[in-house]
A = this chain, B = another copy of it.
């Protein structure tokens, strides 16, 4: 049975060009980038090249790219690092209710350390209103953090507008771009972004690598202290092979962004159009301000987890909510924020496309999905 992987928001396979780029750096050019001998110099050079590649793509400087172990660490560094470094200026942070747990949990933790956090509401599509951001600003506000695109429902946030407001009020603006980086164009200067988190494994790079763009004017302190690597902002021997893979993945994603994005949008729209025809199915997230690869529906009278397992039996890998919360029994905080009830939330399904998915895959899903939903509804404990 051919497996159809439709969970690219959770993770992606490492593409062969990426693995090829990494290969030499595991066992041959394996030096510690801090060592002064030739092995060290080779590693340092490769690191520096990767930094330049990534910086250029978002219109940043090389020394503004801080390599981390992934999106979660980047988000923690952004939120806590800015909060601690700017404590003397104020203790207020603005974010939204639909951020990833790697933003929300650090914010909750900061509240215990004496910070105040405003969690903005979103509309029924999951859109943050820039006016709400502006209204929430107080004289103690030091940071605004709003994600570029939501990981569950794919909604793209108006971050350029939010960036403009933050600039006007001289408040630092961070965006969690883990789901959009390599998929949507990003220009940190034009969008007035001061800090931006990205991850490698969402775009066919290896797991365990990510980065935080930090504008050099930003006052921030490290969360991992030690040898002073990464411009003293992130200690720890650099994962050279991983970083090289990340840079290669970014390079390829950027090159293919337009064409692949258009291809995915066609497949996405077909899926949305056809799934909408299933009785009592409702699209979650915005119909057009939406990641090219995201489809999210709730189905009345269906239990999401059962749906997922039935799809898995048919070789289709999907998810109910984000992978990070998949073992939790709590309804998705994102779906709750856009107004879904407990029942509706648990009846939701996320499909996220990738570059290896074909029209044939989509047709197969469209054949299988309505049957499974029908059969699940027959045994449904929910009234509908």
Contact mask A37-66 → B, CB, 8 Å, 1/0? 111100000000000000000000000000
Who on chain B is nearest to A9 by CB? B32
Is A363 an interface residue, CB under 8 A from the partner?
Answer: no
Q: B223–A223 contact, CB under 8 A?
A: yes
Surface stretch bound by B, among A224-232, A263-271, A283-291 = A224-232
Other-chain residue from B106, B237, B326 in contact with A35 (beta carbon distance below 8 A):
B326
Shortest A168–chain B CB gap in Å is 30
Q: Which of B16, B225, B305, B322 contacts A102 (CB 8 A)?
A: B225
* Interchain CB contact under 8 A, A101 and B69: no
Q: Does A86 contact B (CB under 8 A)?
A: no
What is the size category of the interface that chain A forms with chain B? Answer: 35 or more
**Chain copies in the assembly?**
2
Q: Of residues 240 to 270 in A, which have CB atoms within 8 Å of B's CB atoms?
A: 240-242
**A245 — nearest CB in chain B belongs to which residue?**
B26
Of A70-78, A125-133, A185-193, A373-381, the stretch lying at the interface with chain B is A70-78
| Contact partners of A16 in chain B: CB under 8 A | 27
The answer on a CB contact under 8 Å between B13 and A32 is no
The answer, yes or no, to whether A100 is at the interface (CB within 8 Å) is: yes
Q: Find residues 59-117 in chain A having any chain B CB closer than 8 Å to their own CB.
A: 68-73, 75-76, 100-102, 105-106, 108-109
Residues of B within 8 A of A75 (CB): 226
